[in-house]
């Protein structure tokens, strides 16, 4: 059992939680993920690591409840426990093994979208801790859904916030912000690391390929069991078949078959909707029973 030592709402239907898991915190590296199971009936939920504190032994996760399992997770509060918290899993970001002096010669742009902002933070922080400045584009649909702005602002050399509806920061999607920086302002980047919704990463890669900028993406959104056993996260990377959970989650974005990945992401949609409806009905019945017992 793993204790929730802190929980905080970040935006409507998005929260963060610090889980006491010393072994995971001690081994975690940027780019990796964990598997969390809320209770005995819960499913495996793969979540990228947002932050980790080796001294306190905690791992920070950011959750946007969508299906039955993440909704169960959302009902837990500080002091409660999750049944399982396994990790770190997946391969760390490639840059953690690169020569620091060589990395200092590169100009890197992170592109974060929605809850994909969570795994961008530990990567940007890693660069900051090694004395390397990076730029970050932080995108959200509306102002209310912008998360981790303060934390990213503290570790990024330049932070560019944009919203699809123009309610905050730059008006437009992250791709428009990239064009503004590269095409209109003449900024040069050697590498783009993009993490967010699958469709966002697809269009970021289409743009950066056109601009000639190497791009890395995280395919965490298509993971299911996180071990490669289910095969649900198979993805074509160039001429090779890879598994996002064991070979990734990060890959060369220009080699990813995003159309295939998007189809895989949608393969359990009907089952997820049914499970969510059954869970909500169960909760309603439980509330009615409790109300009648008073």
> What single string gives the DSSP state of each residue in 56-122?
TTEEEEEE---SHHHHHHHH--TT-EESEEEEEESPPPGGGGS-HHHHTTS-EEEEEEGGGHHHHHH
Evaluate whether residue 272 is within a structural domain: no
- Per-residue model confidence (pLDDT) at position 287: 46
- Per-residue model confidence (pLDDT) at position 273: 46
Residues 40 and 135 in one domain: no
Taking only the tens place, the pLDDT of each residue in 9-21 is 999 999 999 999 9
- Per-residue model confidence (pLDDT) at position 251: 93
Residues 106 and 62 in one domain: no
- Per-residue model confidence (pLDDT) at position 4: 96
Integer distance in angstroms from the first to the last C-alpha of the chain? 32
Residues 129 and 23 in one domain: no
Q: Enumerate residue ranges in the chain where pLDDT < 50.
A: 273, 276, 279, 287-288, 290, 294
- Per-residue model confidence (pLDDT) at position 227: 65
Taking only the tens place, the pLDDT of each residue in 159-186 is 999 999 999 999 999 999 999 999 999 9
- Per-residue model confidence (pLDDT) at position 202: 95
Evaluate whether residue 287 is within a structural domain: no
- Per-residue model confidence (pLDDT) at position 42: 78
Residues 110 and 236 in one domain: yes
């Amino acid at each position: 059992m793993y204790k929730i030592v802190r929980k905080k709402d970040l935006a409507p239907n998005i929260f963060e939680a610090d889980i006491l898991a010393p072994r995971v915190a001690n081994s975690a590296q940027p780019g990796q993920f964990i598997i969390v199971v809320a209770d005995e009936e819960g499913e495996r939920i793969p979540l990228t690591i947002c932050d980790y504190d080796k001294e306190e032994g905690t791992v920070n996760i950011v959750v946007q409840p969508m299906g039955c399992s993440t909704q169960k997770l959302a009902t837990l509060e500080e002091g409660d426990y999750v049944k399982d918290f396994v990790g770190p899993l997946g391969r760390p970001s490639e840059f953690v093994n690169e020569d620091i002096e060589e990395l200092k010669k590169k100009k890197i742009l992170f592109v974060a979208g929605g809850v994909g902002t969570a795994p961008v933070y530990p990567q940007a922080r890693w660069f900051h801790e090694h004395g390397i400045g990076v730029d970050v584009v932080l995108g959200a649909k509306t102002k209310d859904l912008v998360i981790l702005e303060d934390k990213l602002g503290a570790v990024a050399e330049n932070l560019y916030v944009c919203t699809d509806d123009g309610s905050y920061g730059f008006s437009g999607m992250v791709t428009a912000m990239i064009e503004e920086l590269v095409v209109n302002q003449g900024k040069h980047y050697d590498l783009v690391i993009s993490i967010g919704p699958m469709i966002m990463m697809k269009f970021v890669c289409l743009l950066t390929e056109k601009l000639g900028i190497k791009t890395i993406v995280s395919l965490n959104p298509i993971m299911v069991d996180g071990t490669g056993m289910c095969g649900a996260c198979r993805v074509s990377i160039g001429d090779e078949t890879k598994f996002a959970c064991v070979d990734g989650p990060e890959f060369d974005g220009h080699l990813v078959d995003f159309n295939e990945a998007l189809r895989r992401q949608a393969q359990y949609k009907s089952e997820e909707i049914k499970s969510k409806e059954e869970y909500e009905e169960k909760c309603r019945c439980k509330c009615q029973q409790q109300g009648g017992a008073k």
